[in-house]
A and B are shown apart, each in its own frame.
Chain A
Amino acid sequence: MPRPVKSAIARRQIFQTLAAGVAVPAQAAAQTAALPLDDVRGAAQIHGLRLSPERLAVLRPILEQRRQSLSSLRALRIDDSVEPSPGPR
């Protein structure tokens, strides 16, 4: 399988982002061509997931798309006074 093109963002940064769930700045996300498989594997290990290489390959484009779709929510600034809702209503 060909190696993905390296982007301006270090793979380590993406790995840290996935593991910690921290927002990827919109500009940085846009520069990222694709989520490297090694990073997905690393994130799976961090989360305690045992996934075969085949399953990781299936999940990679989905996680990549999700990362992009979550960027706006991650970028949303919420006041310190706002606590998590225990449920709807």
Chain B
Amino acid sequence: MTAAELRSLSVSELAPLIQARKLSPVELVQACLRQIDALNPRVQAFLTMTSERALAQARAAESDIAAGRYRGPLHGIPYAPKDLLATQGVRTTNGSRVTATAIPNQESTVTARLNRAGAIMLGKLNLLEFAMGSGQVGLVAPARNPWDLAYSPSGSSSGSGAALAARMVPLTLGTDTGGSIRGPAKSCGVVGLKPTYGRVSRFGVTSLSWTLDHVGPMARTVADVARMLQVIAGHDSLDATSATVPPPSYAQALNGGVKGLRIGVPTEHFFQHVHPETEAALRAALGLLRAKGAQLIDVKVQHAALCSAASSVILGSESAAYHEKRLQDHPHLLDPLVRERLEAGAFHSALDYLKALRFRTLLIAEMRRVFAQCDVLMLPAGNAAPLLTDEIAGTDAPPVKPRAPRPDTSNLANLTGIPALVLPCGFTAGPPALPLGIQFCAKPFAEATLFRVGHAYQLATDWHTRLPALATK
């Protein structure tokens, strides 16, 4: 098998080969490292490499498996976390000059669980500074979209999406406070899950907004995301907000099919200003799922138009509180957009913050009502193709030339804590042809239902198997 063939395999395909000793973890890690060496100077997905450590771990995995100590489906599989997750002894920069040399003495729960499962960390991934910057000013150059390097992979888990699309690594971790896993998944043509709040521990993850932050898996297939969630999910006493609900077997859910599944389709707000090309791809995906036996149900989400404002208040207030000292001590080291957002966040009144939290109570009740009508709710994963990197604004000040309106399709899931899965559902006509994505949400802790619909869709389509030209060599 060539290195390119190896890199094109999903974890679901790689794991049996490793378990049967038909593939060495060393060979797999070397194939990934060669791809990173070749493409990272242009894609900028990785901030820090841990190549020697990874190769040593791969050799150890090979020995363990040969000795009959196979740990499970992630044993010997390479992965990389967003550089917002603490890794003991390996610098954790947050993409910021303020913390550029920080070396944690603790490990995030999520990476610790992956390491225990035998997964091999190749390095740390690029991101927007503190998950809230512009990407234009940071520790290194911004990550680029492998489908066309002039375009952004979206943020803030920019490196997590770009590394997957460029076939540098089969599994990555991102964080999502207002769409930061789902945006890059959509823009890079990969799969990203924002799990239920509390499903995955936030211990050891630099906060942006305590009550909106989520850590989640990203991969090229829904099945791989399910495998990764199985390892990282579950209660963690180190995270006070960690849920005690035990995770089910996600692998069992994958083949449930969509027959009889009720898919809610919003009749208002979420499709406003969506590009016709995106809407056509979404309607085609729904048509396919209906042909497979799903039932489409019109639904309304009351107050959806207020999600963006409520999220802005909560995120602005909580991030200003979290970064208060950093802003006082190092304002000139911050991306100007980060500085601006932290300073502006401090102007929110307690009244606004509490109004937003009371609105969140209403919204959670509203989603309970919505999920009494349907099993999953379909939403656009964004209203159009990725932005050109040069088009990304470095300030929140109103532009001289007004931007096209963009409906907020992300914050609903962060505010209510419901799980949301994004997967590729087509490409723009181009040129360049860029990925489009579809989003499914479910009631709290119903990730298995999302995997059921996502896997059924991927069995019937080939969007997730397509490869950027840059990654074919």
Q: Roughly how many angstroms separate A85 CA and B465 CA in the complex, as a whole number?
A: 41
Task: Flag whether A27 is at the interface (Cβ < 8 A).
Answer: no
Q: Give the Cβ gap from B397 to chain A, nearest Cβ, in Å.
A: 4
CA distance A84 to B310 in the complex (A): 12
Given contacts A43-B347, A47-B347, A85-B364, contact A73 B355 (CB under 8 A): yes
Q: A49: CB under 8 A from chain B?
A: yes
Tell whether, in the assembled complex, residue B310 and residue A73 are in contact, meaning their CB atoms are under 8 Å apart.
yes
Contacts between the two chains (Cβ within 8 Å), count: 109
B340 on interface, CB distance cutoff 8 Å: yes
B355 touches A78 (CB 8 A): yes
Count how many chain B residues have C-beta atoms less than 8 Å from C-beta atoms of the other chain.
Answer: 45
A88 with B415: CB separation less than 8 A: yes
Asked whether A4 is an interface residue with its Cβ less than 8 Å from the other chain, the reply is: no
What 0/1 pattern do residues 327 to 362 of B give for CB contact below 8 A with A? Answer: 000000000000010011011111110111111111
- The answer to the question of B438 belonging to the interface, with a C-beta cut-off of 8 Å to chain A, is no
Contacts A78-B358, A85-B358, A88-B360 known; A20 to B351 CB distance under 8 Å? yes
| Contact status of A85 and B357, CB under 8 A, knowing A20-B351, A49-B346, A72-B305 | yes
**If the complex has contacts A73-B306, A76-B306, A87-B197, are A62 and B396 also in contact, measured as CB distance less than 8 A?**
yes
Contacts of B358 in A (CB 8 A): 78, 82-85
A65 B398 Cβ-Cβ under 8 A: yes
Nearest A residue to B245, CB-CB = A89
Determine the distance from Cα of A87 to Cα of B118 in the docked complex, in whole angstroms.
Answer: 33
Taking CB atoms, residues of chain B closer than 8 Å to A18 are 347, 349
Interface of B is mostly: helix
The answer to whether B361 and A85 have CB atoms under 8 Å apart is yes
Chain A contacts of B196 at CB under 8 A? 89
Of A20, A73, A83, A87, the contact of B241 (CB 8 Å cutoff)? A87
Partner pick for B397 among A19, A61, A83, A88, CB 8 A cutoff: A61
Taking a contact as CB atoms under 8 Å apart, the answer to whether A59 and B357 are in contact is no
- CB of B398 within 8 A of CB of A61, answer yes
| A4 CB → nearest B CB, Å | 16
Give the complex CA separation of A49 and B343 in angstroms.
Answer: 9
Cβ of B444 under 8 Å from chain A? yes
A6-52: which have CB < 8 Å to B?
18-22, 43-44, 47, 49, 51
- Kindly report which residue of chain A lies nearest to residue B362, judged by CB atoms: A82
Least Cβ distance of B283 to chain A in Å?
29
Hey, what's the 0/1 contact readout for B240-277 against A, CB within 8 Å counting as 1? 01010000000000000000000000000000000000
- Chain B, residues 211-249, CB within 8 Å of chain A (1/0): the string is 110000000000000000000000000000101000000
Give A residues with C-beta under 8 Å from B.
18-22, 43-44, 47, 49, 51, 55, 58-59, 61-66, 69-70, 72-74, 76, 78, 82-85, 87-89
A selection of 27 A-B contacts at a CB cut-off of 8 Å is A18-B349, A20-B351, A22-B351, A58-B340, A62-B340, A63-B344, A65-B398, A66-B347, A70-B309, A70-B312, A72-B309, A73-B309, A78-B362, A82-B361, A82-B362, A84-B358, A87-B211, A87-B241, A88-B197, A88-B211, A88-B360, A88-B415, A88-B416, A88-B417, A88-B418, A89-B196, A89-B243
List chain B positions with a Cβ less than 8 A from chain A: 196-198, 211-212, 241, 243, 303, 305-306, 308-310, 312-313, 340, 343-344, 346-352, 354-362, 364, 395-398, 414-418, 444
